[in-house]
Structure 1
Amino acid sequence: MSMPRANEIGGYYGGSGVITKEFRDSYTASVGVRITTNHLGYFHFDLCNLSEFGDESENCFAKYSLRFVDGSDRLYIGSTGGLIVADLVWPEQLNCEHCVLRWTYTGGNNWGPCGNGTGALGCGPQETFVNCADISIAFPTTDSPNVYRPDVYSVEDNFNDEVPDYGDINEN
């Protein structure tokens, strides 16, 4: 497909890349997604710094795979609907005048082969929904007052595909 694609900067819908949100003096950001039809599954967020790569390529998004404050890179939503809010951690020392924040929602409501000879809901290919926002980030400086830095840790060694129960973290 030729570049830019319709929803990218310079494309038919992409416009000129107007910055929709500026994040200043914070290591984290609360993001909200309103789910009107739940497909189970999980959310994942990536960031592309256009100053480094120039366009919204997969290589650009792969550099900054974002984590949530608990250290995970996926937020399993269960059967929750309505507004789902979660806190993301920005990459260390990242400043960008123009970044693209990409949200990916991978569903889990389709039946498919699990790879071990069985089949189940959530296995195999799933629907994927993607949306982006043009943002800017100014990382906190030593003069930034009252800046909270979460303890972020890797959960790769303890990762499993079970859907955790997040309780009442969401507003319906």
Structure 2
Amino acid sequence: MMKGVLLLLAFCQTVWGHGRMLEPPGRSSVWRFYPWDDRFVPNYNDMELFCGGFSTMMSNGGKCGTCGDPYNGERENEAGGKYATGFIVQNYEKGQIIDVTIDLTTSHMGFFEFKICANNDVTTPVTQDCLDKHVLKFTNGDVKWPITTTGFYHLKLQLPPDMTCDQCVLQWHYKAGNNWGVDEITGEGCLGCGDQETFINCADVSISGTGGQTSGPPPQQTTTTKEPTPPAQTTAPLSPESTSISSPITTLLPGSSSCLAGYRTRCRGEGVFDECCNTLCHNHACNPAFCTCDCVPDMTCEGIGPLRNLLFADEYCYHHCLGGCPELSNSCLCRLN
């Protein structure tokens, strides 16, 4: 029993994380939107692209890989790496105000920054020097977005008015602010000063030259704070015309697929095992000592609100709402099939 608990906890540590870029999807997260496509290697630790961890980053002199890999390690998220397929995940127009979504499960305070480089060669790693030349502004004119809580950050960025590319690299850079350090200017100690834990994601996008949205009132930036999932919640928010849902079907053995027509299997665990049980059982690798499965309605999902008309939004909502997603009630709408 204890060995099984330790193994399951080890897996859970790989599925829990800190933060990732979901719109446009970072290189390590593309597989989540195309789980059926063998071109995209799954990275179950896509929320932990943090330079190998703070201690590793500091042992490398504070340096990090351009896309979040350890500076002294294999660059799996840079050109030539297994997650850098060169797949263009989003297409924009020059000067456009674009939507970005960051999923932050652990807040370390600090701030977000976004940079972009017209790389135009998926076989050549992007350089930080190129990215640093184009720091993107939010629609309020700032270049740094302060972090105060966990949740989904739906933000608006202004693309450069003169940049076009067949392949641009968009970099999300999150510098945390929960370590005590020394201010480089004043020499005084303070929280958030000095070296901090750092998260970096890269996404491959393209920008056409037809011109995008460059004027109008700044759209509202939002943060959707995550809330605990109510025990009775079994689906994402349903449309008014959707058929009402009956009470849960008979509990199944983990890995079983004996659901009635119109339903699919959902697996859960107690407490800390909840998230990882769902992942394990759908891959036929769960332990009945920790996970239980039941049947939930088959449904179709679409992105609404901040996710409306975004590439991959429907797939994202579908895969995140199978077990209920009250935290996405303003972003996803699901209907019974």
CA distance in 2, matches of 1:30, 1:95: 18
List alignment gaps of at least 5 residues for structure 1. 153-167
Which amino acid is the alignment partner of residue 10 of structure 1?
G
CA distance in 1, matches of 2:160, 2:89: 19
The answer to which structure has the higher helix fraction is: 2
- For residue 6 of structure 1, what is the aligned residue in structure 2? 76
| Native 8 Å contact 1:38 1:81 kept in 2 | yes
- For residue 73 of structure 1, what is the aligned residue in structure 2? 143
Residue 132, structure 1, aligned to residue 202, structure 2: yes
- The match for 2:116 among 17, 35, 47 is 47
- The match for 1:169 among 197, 222, 237 is 222
Matched residue SS, 2:222 = coil
The answer to which structure has the higher strand fraction is: 1
**Correspondences of 1:19-34 after superposition (within 5 Å):** 19-24=88-93, 27-34=96-103
Cα shift at 1:49: 0.7
Cα shift at 1:150: 5.0
- For residue 173 of structure 2, what is the aligned residue in structure 1? 104
Return the TM-score normalized by structure 1.
0.76
| Native 8 Å contact 1:26 1:140 kept in 2 | no
- For residue 129 of structure 2, what is the aligned residue in structure 1? 59
* Compared CA separation, residues 18 and 111, structure 1 to 2 (3 A): same
* Structure with greater Cα Rg: 2
* Compared CA separation, residues 90 and 26, structure 1 to 2 (3 A): closer
Residue 120, structure 1, aligned to residue 120, structure 2: no
Which amino acid is the alignment partner of residue 102 of structure 1?
Q
Give the RMSD, CA atoms, in angstroms: 2.9
Matched residue SS, 2:126 = coil
- For residue 162 of structure 1, what is the aligned residue in structure 2? none
- The match for 1:37 among 87, 103, 106 is 106
Moved more, 21-30 or 89-98: 21-30
- The match for 1:149 among 212, 215, 228 is 215
CA distance in 1, matches of 2:205, 2:144: 21
| Native 8 Å contact 1:20 1:134 kept in 2 | yes
| Native 8 Å contact 2:95 2:160 kept in 1 | no
Cα shift at 1:59: 1.9
* Compared CA separation, residues 62 and 114, structure 1 to 2 (3 A): closer
CA distance in 1, matches of 2:104, 2:179: 18
| Native 8 Å contact 1:27 1:149 kept in 2 | no
CA distance in 2, matches of 1:83, 1:100: 22
Cα shift at 1:32: 0.8
Instruction: Work out the number of aligned pairs and report it.
Output: 151
Moved more, 80-89 or 112-121: 112-121
Which amino acid is the alignment partner of residue 143 of structure 2?
D
Cα shift at 1:118: 2.8
Cα shift at 1:10: 1.8
Cα shift at 1:13: 2.7
Which amino acid is the alignment partner of residue 107 of structure 1?
A
| Native 8 Å contact 2:113 2:174 kept in 1 | yes
Return the TM-score normalized by structure 2.
0.41
CA distance in 2, matches of 1:117, 1:48: 34
| Native 8 Å contact 1:31 1:87 kept in 2 | yes
CA distance in 2, matches of 1:118, 1:131: 31
List alignment gaps of at least 5 residues for structure 2. 1-70, 226-337
